[in-house]
Amino acid sequence: MVKDEIPVVKRSLFSWILPGNLKFQLLLLVIIVVMVFARVLPLEMQKRIVNEAINLRNIDLLLIYSAIYLAAVVFFSLLKYLTNIIQTIITQRTTARMRKALYHHILTLPLNFFRKTQPGLVVNALGSELTLPGNFVGMAVSAPVTNILTLLAFAVYLFWLNPLLAAVSLSIYPIIVFLIPLLQKGVNRANKKRIVAARTYAGRIAEAISGIHEIQGNGAFEIENQKNDRLVDKLLKIRIVWSLYRFGVKTANGFFTSLGPFLVFILGGYLSIKGQLELGALVAFLSAQERLFDPWKELIEFYQVYQDGAVNYNRTVEYFDVEPEYQLAPKDREPLELDGSIEVRDLSFATDSGIHLLEGINISLKPGEHLALVGFSGSGKSTLALCIGQLYKYTGGSVLMGDREVSNLTKKDVIYNTGFVSQNPFIFDGTIEENILYSCRAKAGTNGRNGENGLPSLDDIIAILHQTGIFADVLRFGLNAILTHDRNKELIEVLIRVRKNFQRDFGEELADYVEFFDENKYLYFSSVSENLIFGTSKREEFKKTNLSTNHYFTDFLKQADLNRPLLSLGAELARQTVDILGNLPPDGVFFEQSPIAAEELDEYKLMTAQLKKKKLHELSDAHREMLLELALRFTPGVHKMVSLPQILETLILEGRALFREKISRDDPEAIRFYEMSEYIYSQTILNNIFFGKTKTANPKAQERINQSIIQLLIEEDLLEGIIEIGLHFDVGNKGDRLSGGQQQKLAIARVFLKAPRVLIMDEATSALDNKSQTRIQNLLETRWKKKSTVISVVHRLDTIKNYDKVAVMKAGKILEMGTYDELITRKGVLYELVGKK
């Protein structure tokens, strides 16, 4: 189809009107023609009712004409509704198609483009900026056709009724067509001035507010007020002129259109008195005349939508009118399978402004050879790696991959043969599994799960997890998962069984890191509600989140004298948390230790504002529930902003016993208390094995815990099952629930899983600890030597000894290249660098 061949940024706004909407637009046309007829028909009926029915005193005729009138009006309304629906469908479909096409285009633009483009701008362009153009396309056929046809129909009808009268009353419109644009120019001029003045004013206020300490320090209120007041006065004048013009347009339009009936009365009245015009015709004429105004108004509005829509559309597509540097996929062949050799000849790369970032680079690598790129930051290492990986388009020389010029390859050829791990890898929202399959899915062009459609199997994934050292992390995610009643039955049985062995074997060793559940002790790493209930329930009303609204439970709190102290604790928690986190983004790092979740923060902000003005008992029920909810979540070991008063701790411990007594009497089935022999469904797998909770997030402690747990899981043959659960861990937006190191390991894992012939690593291990770096380095040397060509931008010189070649770069040039030993013997730059280190 033609539309697919023209890039979206070259399409005019008009090109969206018919393609893809043809059927809807044609349907609209048919409906409009019928609609215009249905709009004029009542006028004729009006005339006949007056002239025939009333004049001849004929009731039958009156009823018939009225019925036709009514039918026409009903029919017209239905059709109008129908056109609105179709128009909306066209608008929405077109906007969606524009958004898709533009997004598809944007993703293919050169990396360079995004250096200068803020993400917010793209969001805005794809979101609000395309709304008006979409609206225009929806109206593009119906609005002008309907209104022009209606205008014409009315005009013809008017001429048919009385040519002279019609000519006189329509003579006003040319005046309006001439006058309105003139006034509109005035509006636009004043508007521009207003925008400039408003900006100056905003800047002035911003300046005053940020310099408020200076103003108050000098007591310079008068000076600042004068500066401000002058601007306000200026803005006031401009706004008045602007408003005068705007109302001028409105008034002129209104005035001239209402002059029409006046002329009709004068001339029509005269003709009627003289007997040259029937009374019915005059009534019909007046009606038609008045109804001219609506289509006229709609036409002017449509003109506005067109203007605004065209401006927005052109501005948007012009901004993104950049050519992608490479074709996405080959048209008439399968993607190439290259042999992994790399030949770089006299390569140079210059920026748009002519600065040479790379010059005269020559490298030759046989398939399977490993090259380390070394140098200070800014020496061009990353740029070179990006050029070889086709992410930057080199401006001179050549890069041959498997004897093919990289700049002539399609994107698909490149991703079939290379893997790229960047300095700041990006992890997308989704599960670990989705992210680990990301590169393989992209290569295969499918969204399947592991083992499907040629994607790696679970065993392959587990192997890669081990190799890249993210295994322990995924295991932990698995161990931190909460199992449900209906699934994982077998696993649960095993877990209860191993709990006892675990406490026997590791209990003492881990006592420093784990707080075991003990009925007689306050649990500082469990919430207030867990401390009170000390059990778990299948019933909805006893689930953690529902306790604050559960009357049985809130009544119990009152009995146990806990209600007010908890509300007061909740209030303090809300105040402190909002105070600290109030202006921070919903980032996992900030909310890990917060009792308020990121998405609840706004609600609690409003509530704390109330707390400043009101006493606890004056708050609304809803707000008190929020406070209670917060207090019930409070976990002293995690939420450090408030401390647990000793008296409240004692009250809660007493409350635990009281609650157990009460519920055992009232409803013995409701709660299953924590017992060594019961699985606790509200707790994670790990906490179930522990029969307690971990006290620390310290990496060393975690490592020790992991060691004992892994040993146990291997003995019980549970490892794979837990890893599979861990693979379903949701990494959060931009992977923010993962640490920097975990993100980097995941990024390495996803490329290793693809096992590319050419592997480009751009400081790919910079966020990893020593051990993990060494592990990855060993992996490269053992598993990838001779299999994949590796180009690695290296930030630590102790890892480069076993590379086949080392290239030392400075200021965009390779200073020396050879094996590590050769370069050290030569006592050149590398020797110096290593020495300095």
Partner 1 sequence: MSLSEKNDGNPTSELEQNLEFLRQTYFFSGLPLEALKVFAYLCTREKFKQGEYLFQQDDDDGQAFYIIEGKANLEREQHAKIHVIRECNSGEFIGGLTLMGDMRRLFSLKATTDISCLIINREKFARTMEQFQGVMPKIFKALVNRIDSWEDHFLINRTDKCLECLRDLGVSLL
Query: Which spans of this chain sit near partner 1 (rule: CB under 8 A)?
Result: 512, 572, 575-576, 579-581, 583-585, 587, 589-590, 593, 640-643, 645-646, 696-699, 739-740, 766, 769-770, 795
Please give the sequence-ordered ranges of beta strands (E in DSSP) within 674-801, or none if there are none: 692-694, 758-762, 789-793
Residue 593 CB, nearest approach to partner 1 (Å):
7
Residue 521 CB, nearest approach to partner 1 (Å):
19
Report whether 674 contacts 517 (CB < 8 A): yes
Residue 564 CB, nearest approach to partner 1 (Å):
13
Residue 428 CB, nearest approach to partner 1 (Å):
19
Residue 643 CB, nearest approach to partner 1 (Å):
4
Residue 336 CB, nearest approach to partner 1 (Å):
38
| Cα within 13 Å of Cα(795), Cβ side | 15
Residue 580 CB, nearest approach to partner 1 (Å):
5
- Residues 664-696: b if buried by 16+ CB within 10 A, e if exposed: eeeeeebbebbeeeebbebbbbbbbbbbbbbbe
| Cα within 13 Å of Cα(564), Cβ side | 7
Toward partner 1, which CB reaches closer, 407 or 774? 774
Listed residue (519, 496, 521) closest to 688, CA to CA = 496
Toward partner 1, which CB reaches closer, 572 or 804? 572
Listed residue (499, 502, 560, 509) closest to 531, CA to CA = 560
Residue 739 CB, nearest approach to partner 1 (Å):
6
Q: Is 428 helix (H, G, I), strand (E, B) or coil?
A: coil
Toward partner 1, which CB reaches closer, 431 or 593? 593
Toward partner 1, which CB reaches closer, 119 or 354? 119
Toward partner 1, which CB reaches closer, 444 or 616? 616
Residue 212 CB, nearest approach to partner 1 (Å):
15
CA distance 654 to 70: 78
DSSP letter at 525 equals T
Residue 116 CB, nearest approach to partner 1 (Å):
21
Toward partner 1, which CB reaches closer, 99 or 795? 795
CA distance 207 to 212: 8
Listed residue (723, 773, 724, 722) closest to 744, CA to CA = 773
Toward partner 1, which CB reaches closer, 150 or 765? 765
* Structure-token pair, residue 511: 């006592």
Residue 316 CB, nearest approach to partner 1 (Å):
29
Residues 6+ apart with CB under 8 A from 642: 569, 572, 573, 576, 634
Toward partner 1, which CB reaches closer, 279 or 834? 834
* Structure-token pair, residue 694: 């971990």
CA distance 600 to 720: 36
Toward partner 1, which CB reaches closer, 646 or 782? 646
Toward partner 1, which CB reaches closer, 643 or 825? 643
Report whether 141 contacts 94 (CB < 8 A): no
Toward partner 1, which CB reaches closer, 418 or 772? 772
Toward partner 1, which CB reaches closer, 612 or 617? 612
Toward partner 1, which CB reaches closer, 254 or 645? 645
Residues 6+ apart with CB under 8 A from 479: 684, 685, 686, 689, 709, 722, 726
Residue 114 zone, left/alpha/beta (φ > 0; ψ -120 to 50; rest) = alpha
Listed residue (335, 327, 333) closest to 416, CA to CA = 335
Toward partner 1, which CB reaches closer, 118 or 646? 646
Q: Among all chains, which residue has been given the structure tokens 């036709």?
A: 68
Q: Is 730 helix (H, G, I), strand (E, B) or coil?
A: strand
Residue 383 CB, nearest approach to partner 1 (Å):
20
Residue 407 CB, nearest approach to partner 1 (Å):
34
DSSP letter at 457 equals P
Residue 584 CB, nearest approach to partner 1 (Å):
6
- Residues 735-766: b if buried by 16+ CB within 10 A, e if exposed: bbbbeebbbbbbbbbbbbbbbbbbbbbbbbbb
Burial of residue 641 (number of CB atoms within 10 Å: 0-12, 13-18, 19+): middle
Report whether 390 contacts 411 (CB < 8 A): yes
Please give the sequence-ordered ranges of beta strands (E in DSSP) within 329-395, or none if there are none: 342-350, 356-365, 370-375
Q: What is the DSSP string of 128-184?
A: GGGHHHHHHHHHTTHHHHHHHHHHHHHHHHHHHH-HHHHHHHHTHHHHHHHHHHHHH
Residue 616 CB, nearest approach to partner 1 (Å):
13
CA distance 258 to 252: 10
Toward partner 1, which CB reaches closer, 144 or 637? 637
